[in-house]
Structure 1
Amino acid sequence: MQRVAAEPIEVLRTRTSQKWRTYADDVLPLPVAEMDFPLAPPIAAALHAAVDRSDTGYASSSRPVAEAFQGFAATRLGWDVDPARVTCTADVSLGIVEVLRRVTEPGDGVVITPPIYPPFFDLVAEAGCAVVEVPMAGGIDEGWQLDLPGIEAALAGGARAMVLCNPHNPIGWVPDPESLRALAEIAAGAGATVVSDEVHGPLSQPESRYTPFLTVSDAAREHGFAITSASKSFNIPGLKSALIATASERSDRVRAALPYEVEWRLGQFGAIASIAAFREGGPWLDGVLASLDDNRRLLADLLEDELPGVGYRMPQASYLAWLDLSALDWGDDPAAYALEHAKVALANGPGFGASVGRGHARLNFACTPEVLAEAVTRLADAR
C-alpha cells in the first residue's frame, strides 16, 4: 500500500485554516479535526480547472454530487444509495439541525451519547430541542457500546429523536450491525427518529468496516436519516458540501419538506471537490488510511513508553484519539494544562460531556510521525 505522507510542519504553518491560525508558532496544534495530508490530486485538479473556467457560481443541484456518491457508496461502503433520495447542503451540522427541526416539536428531547462531538449539544439547542444525555456504556479499558437500555428509557420517557455518531467521535468506535439494528427497533417502537452522522464512515479501518445505518433493517430505513460528506475523509471541510440521505417514504416526505435554501447552501467548490473525491479519490484515501493505521499504532507505542499511565484505546475509525489523562493530575481539563506547560493543543475533554469528559482530551493524529512523537514527548516532559 502506497502511503500518503503528511506535510512537514514548515509547510503546514503556511496554511490559513483554523488549525494553523489559532495558536502561536511554538504550539503543536492537535485539537481541530483537520488532516495534515496534501489535497488528493483529483480534487486539486478539479478545483484548478474550475478556477480556470471561472466556474464560481451557484451549485446547480444535488444530483451530480448524489450520483457520484452513489458509486462511491456502492463500491466502498456496501450501501445502495438512490440519488433521488439525496438532498445536498452545506455541511453535516446544518443537515442535522434541519432534519431535527422537522421531526420534533420545540422543547422535545433529543438523545446524544457522551463523550460526543461537542457541537451536538449546540445543534440540538439550535433545533429548539432539549439535550438528553445517555453516555456510552463501557470505556477505554473494556471497549465501548451504546447503552441501548438507557436510550430506550429516554425515548420511552418522551425524547423524540437521537443523533447517532457512526463512527463515533471522539472514541473512534464503529457500531456493529447488531447494535444498529437494535437501535432501529427501539426507535421504531417509540415512533422516534435516528439522525445518523456518518461523516467519519469512509475513514474506518479495514478490520472495522463501518455499517451505514440505513442498510441494517427496514426499521432503520423507516425511522432513519443518514447525513454524510466527503469533508472529513478527503479533508475539505471548508468547501461546504454534505448529503442528507433517506430510504423510506416516511423520511422522503421530511426531506422533501426541507426549505429550498437548505439545498442552495451547497457550495459550488464543495460540490466540485466532492464529485472528484467520490469518483477518483479512492487510491488517495487508501493511502491516507494506511498512514493513519501507522499513526494510531505509533501513538500506542509512544504512550506506553513515555506516558504509561495515560488511557488510550486504539480507534477503529478516523484520526482522533480519546485520551484519559487523569493519572497525570492535570485537573478536569488537562488540555488547558497541556497547552500552557507542554505547548501542545488538545481538544477540551469536558466539552465532549462534563459527566464523562473530566480528565480527558482528544488528540488528532493525522500528522507526521515526527509531530506525533514530539507531542507525546512534550506531554511527558510537562509532568
Structure 2
Amino acid sequence: MSRPAAFGPTDALFDDLDLDELRRRPGVKWERVDPDVLPAWVADMDFAVPPVVADAIEHTVRRGDLGYPSWQDGSPLRTAFADRMHERYGWTVSADAVREHTDLLQALQFVLHLATNPGDAVAVQTPNYPPFLATLETMGRRGVSSPWTRTTGGWTPDIAGLADAVVAHDCRVLLLVNPHNPTGRVLTRDELTEIAAIARRHDLLVFSDEIHAELTYEPHRHIPFASLHEDAAARTVTLTSATKSFNLAGLRCAVAHYGSEQLLALRDAQPPDLYGTVSTLGVAGTLAAWRHGAEWQDRLLRVLDRNRRRVAEALASFTGDDRCPMPEATYLYWFEADVLGVGDKPVDEVLARARVLLDGGAGFGPDGQRYLRLNFATSAPLLEEILTRLASLARR
C-alpha cells in the first residue's frame, strides 16, 4: 500500500507493515478474522516489538538464563517500577510495596478474592473494559455502574452520580480506569481529588488501572491516583504494566503497588505460587522497555497522535461536526455507531458490510450498546483502508 495523502509524515518503523505478514501472525487479533477482514478491535498494536526488548529477550535465551531466577526479595521489577514512577510522575513509592502479577486482570481477581466477598458492591465508571465487567459478574460481585456523560466538550465523569451510586449501593470498592478505556479520557487532578474525597468518606478500596498512562498525549498529564495524598495512597492498589505502551501483551507481566499495609500482608500470607508468577522473559522484556525504550516510545506516540487526528478528521467528515472527540490517551477511539448509520448490532453489521472488525456494544456496559471502539495502532496505509471502508457505510 502506498502512503495516503491524508496523513502527515510517516515513520518506516511503524508504517512499513506487510499485510500478508500480519495475517500470518498467530495472535488473537489477526488469527480470528477472514482473509478479507481488517481487524481493529482487540487492544494489540500491529507494530513490531521494540528492538531493545527483542534484543533483551534473545540475550536472555542465548546465555541460557532460563533456570529458576534468584529473586529472594522479589524481581527487579519492584525497584524498576518505583524508579519509573518517580522519574515520570514525581511519585515516590517504596519498592517493598510492589508485587508482580501475570497481568492486570489476574491482579484484580486476586485482590477481589482477598478483600471482598460475593455480593459486595463495586463501583465502576461505564463504559468500561469488558473483562473487568465480566470479572465482577463471574466472581459474584455487584457491579454498580456510574455512567460517563457525553458533552459538547467531550467525555466527562459524573462524579456526583458516582458519589450517589456509592451511597445507594453501599459500595466497598471503586474500580478506577485512568486513562479511561474506552473513551480515552485522562482524569484531571481536580477530578481525581473529588473521587479521592468520595473514597475517603465511604472508606473505599480503590483499584486504579493505569496501564495506558504512558500513552497520554500533550497537553494532558497522567496523575497516579495514589500520588494525590497519603489517604489516597493508603487505600489504593495501583495496577500497571509495560504491555500496552510497548506492545508486549504476550509476555504476561504486570505489577501492582499495594498502598494498604494490611492488604499487602494478607496478599503475602497466601501460598506464593497459588495465583501464578511472572517469567524470566517477561521481567527481561519489561526491564528493557522501561530502561531503554524511550526513543521507540517517543516515535510511537508521534505516530499514534497522527493516527488519532486522522480518525477524528474522518469521523467529522462522516457527520459534518465534531461529536466524536479525540481520545486524550490510549490508541482506542470510542465513537457513536450512529455515525456509520448501522443498526442495533453495530459490531456485527460493520463486519458484515465493511469487512472491518471493531469492538463495542453491550460488553462495555449498559451505556455502550450504541458505540464502537476502533484500534488505530496500525500503519498509515492500513488505517486509511479501514477508514475508507467505514466511509462507505457512512455514505450509504
Pair in the same fold by TM > 0.5: yes
1:160-309 equivalent positions in 2, closer than 5 A: 160-261=172-273, 264-306=276-318, 308=320
For 1:366, give the aligned amino acid: A
The CA distance in 2 between the partners of 1:134 and 1:29, in whole Å, is: 30
Structure 2 portions without partners, runs of 5+: 1-8
For 1:231, give the aligned amino acid: T
Please report how far the alpha carbon of residue 185 of structure 1 lies from its aligned counterpart in structure 2 after TM superposition: 1.7
Is 2:56 the partner of 1:46?
Answer: yes
Is 2:352 the partner of 1:343?
Answer: no
Secondary structure in 1 aligned to 2:24? coil
Q: Is the 8 A contact 2:75 2:283 kept in 1?
A: no
TM-score, with structure 1 as normaliser: 0.93
Q: What's 1:144 paired with?
A: 155
Is 2:143 the partner of 1:131?
Answer: yes
Q: What's 2:28 paired with?
A: 18
The CA distance in 1 between the partners of 2:151 and 2:312, in whole Å, is: 13
Secondary structure in 2 aligned to 1:39? coil
Q: Identity rate of aligned residues, in percent?
A: 36
Secondary structure in 2 aligned to 1:164? strand
Q: Is the 8 A contact 2:100 2:278 kept in 1?
A: yes
Is 2:376 the partner of 1:376?
Answer: no
The Cα RMSD (Å) is 2.1
Q: Which moved more, 1:148-157 or 1:110-119?
A: 148-157
For 2:173, give the aligned amino acid: A
The CA distance in 2 between the partners of 1:374 and 1:79, in whole Å, is: 42
1:50-61 equivalent positions in 2, closer than 5 A: 50-58=60-68, 60-61=70-71
The CA distance in 2 between the partners of 1:368 and 1:180, in whole Å, is: 34
For 1:222, give the aligned amino acid: A
Q: Is the 8 A contact 1:144 1:173 kept in 2?
A: yes
1:73-92 equivalent positions in 2, closer than 5 A: 73-92=85-104
1:306-317 equivalent positions in 2, closer than 5 A: 306=318, 308=320, 311-317=323-329
For 1:381, give the aligned amino acid: S
The CA distance in 2 between the partners of 1:222 and 1:54, in whole Å, is: 41
The CA distance in 2 between the partners of 1:251 and 1:146, in whole Å, is: 28
Please report how far the alpha carbon of residue 301 of structure 1 lies from its aligned counterpart in structure 2 after TM superposition: 1.6
The CA distance in 1 between the partners of 2:291 and 2:279, in whole Å, is: 18
Q: Is the 8 A contact 1:225 1:244 kept in 2?
A: yes
Q: What's 2:5 paired with?
A: none
Please report how far the alpha carbon of residue 288 of structure 1 lies from its aligned counterpart in structure 2 after TM superposition: 0.5
Please report how far the alpha carbon of residue 322 of structure 1 lies from its aligned counterpart in structure 2 after TM superposition: 0.2
TM-score, with structure 2 as normaliser: 0.90
The CA distance in 2 between the partners of 1:110 and 1:182, in whole Å, is: 18
The CA distance in 2 between the partners of 1:128 and 1:235, in whole Å, is: 32
CA gap 1:108/1:58 in 2 versus in 1, 3 angstroms: farther
CA gap 1:306/1:148 in 2 versus in 1, 3 angstroms: closer
1:326 to 322, 329, 338: 338
Q: Is the 8 A contact 2:304 2:331 kept in 1?
A: yes
1:33 to 35, 43, 67: 43
Please report how far the alpha carbon of residue 42 of structure 1 lies from its aligned counterpart in structure 2 after TM superposition: 1.0
CA gap 1:264/1:121 in 2 versus in 1, 3 angstroms: closer
1:350-369 equivalent positions in 2, closer than 5 A: 350-354=362-366, 356-369=367-380
For 1:273, give the aligned amino acid: G
CA gap 1:128/1:58 in 2 versus in 1, 3 angstroms: farther
Q: Is the 8 A contact 1:310 1:326 kept in 2?
A: no
CA gap 1:380/1:140 in 2 versus in 1, 3 angstroms: farther
